Amino acid sequence: MNVEEEVGRLKEEIQRLGKVQPDGSYKVTFGVLFNDDRCANIFEALVGTLRAAKRRKFLTYDGELLLQGVHDNVEIILKAAPLPASEVAANSAVKS
């Protein structure tokens, strides 16, 4: 599995385990992700996948390196997916 595929799978797992926020983003703690059996089976290097997703600006969390135990309560936020250009255009036309 390449990095793009792993980041895509990570986004799916955050949506599965996290709570949706009013702005459409998802929030989950590192401990929940790290201790989930399904995630453990999917991600050989969860921390590396999280860092790759953060560099690509799909998600955000405090710090650079997350460690089990020490950072279990760190919130990982999967940013809301941007609206497709066609929906943005339709929404702005309705408001005008």
- Contact in structure between 35 and 29 (CB atoms under 8 Å): no
Residues 31-45 have pLDDT tens digits of 999 999 999 999 989
Q: Give pLDDT tens digits for 12-68.
A: 999 999 999 999 999 999 999 999 999 999 998 999 999 999 999 999 999 988 999
- Other Cβ atoms less than 10 A from the Cβ of 4: the count is 10
Q: Tokens in use for 21?
A: 């926020």
Run of H or E including 73: none
pTM: 0.81
Q: How far apart are CA 48 and CA 20, in angstroms?
A: 24
